Amino acid sequence: MTGMLDGKVALVTGAAGGIGRASARLFAEEGAKLVISDVTSEGVEQTASEVRDLGGEVVPVVADLASKADIEAMVAAAVDRWGRLDCAFNNAGITGGQIGQGGRLTADWDEEAFDRIVTINLKGTWLCMVAQIRQMQTQEGGGAIINTASLAGLQGFPTTTGYSASKHAVVGMTKTAALEYAPKIRVNALCPGYVDTPMLEDTMARRGEMILGQIPFGRLADPCEMAQMACWALSDRGSYATGQAFAVDGGFTAG
């Protein structure tokens, strides 16, 4: 059986670690040619090295999702190298804990921090979609996009107001784009549960025991489990799926 992404050109943002790195590795194993990006050169180069060790073709790009020019350069890198962009995983994002807002109630968030999280998680994802959709519209076969949202994009979580607002908006934007560009371009969202990545360290330090008690599987997810869902959604095996927010959460939202 061939790989799920054989012959496809894929873009992964937030590829320096966690879900992004696991996805870059899996996509390469499944046959994709890759453009990967992150805001740090060291991290994205490390991922690129791991992809090459797996026999994959990869172009690493340093990009800040607050920069429209950086985002357009990511898509251009794929087109310049391979002439098209078939798949895009808009995975990069930040949490409240990463910008000093962990544990703060809605009225206690700093305005600057709120603006920052919306700029990266929402506007950055939108700008990625703009560049990706414009390219996919021009090419035979269209393409597929999956955006990382969150369980906090599906329901409320105390002390996550900026993060939750941005991720709810990503889900809404995903559904809207899916309707607008069907059937040529499929657009879905991945809503990870609690995943064992550095981004979760602040949350687990504050509420880890309680969180594990709420997950029917009784454990955190491995980043590779999120990568598998993203890979399927971007592949032709997910050809009839669009406009969905896939919760991959060990049963957290089933209750």
Most distant CA pair in the chain, distance: 54
Q: Please check the confidence at residue 206 and state whether its pLDDT lies above 90.
A: no
- Percentage of the residues of the chain whose pLDDT score is greater than 70: 100
Q: What are phi and psi of 67, to 5 degrees?
A: -115, 115
pLDDT over threshold 90, residue 2: no
> What does the pLDDT read at residue 199?
78
Question: What domains are defined for the chain?
Answer: 9-243 (3.40.50.720)
> Would you say 116 and 172 are in contact if contact means Cβ atoms under 8 Å apart?
no
Q: Crossing angle of helices 161-181/111-118, nearest 10°?
A: 30
The pLDDT of residue 86: 98
Residue closest to 16 by CA, chosen among 77, 69, 65: 65
Annotated active-site residue 163? The verdict is yes
* 18-32, 113-127, 198-212, 232-246: least confident range: 198-212
Lowest-pLDDT range of 14-28, 180-194, 200-214, 215-229: 200-214
Contact, 73 vs 135, CB < 8 A?
A: no
Residue 205: which pLDDT band, with cuts at 50, 70 and 90? confident
User: What confidence tens digit (pLDDT) does each residue in 11-60 have?
Assistant: 999 999 999 999 999 999 999 999 999 999 999 999 999 999 999 999 99
Strand segments, DSSP code E, in 29-184 are 33-38, 58-62, 87-90, 143-148
CA distance 205 to 246: 27
CA distance linking residue 71 with residue 61, whole number of Å: 10
How far is it, in rounded angstroms, from Cα 185 to Cα 196?
31
Cα separation, 84 vs 63, whole angstroms: 19
Average pLDDT, rounded, for the chain: 96
Neighbours of 149 (CB within 10 A): 29
Residue 160 neighbours by CB under 8 Å, 6+ apart:
96, 152
Q: Could you tell me the pLDDT band of residue 1, with boundaries at 50, 70 and 90?
A: low
**Residue given tokens 């994802």 in the structure block:** 125
65-103, pLDDT tens digit by residue?
999 999 999 999 999 999 999 999 999 999 998 999 988
- Give me the catalytic one of 163, 181, 194, 240: 163
Strand segments, DSSP code E, in the chain are 9-12, 33-38, 58-62, 87-90, 143-148, 185-192, 245-248
- How far is the CA of 106 from the CAs of 24, 114, 182, in angstroms? 35, 10, 37
Task: Say whether pLDDT at 107 is over 70.
Answer: yes
**pLDDT band, residue 219 (cuts 50/70/90):** very high
Average pLDDT of 164-193? 98
| Residues 144, 234 contacting (CB under 8 angstroms) | yes
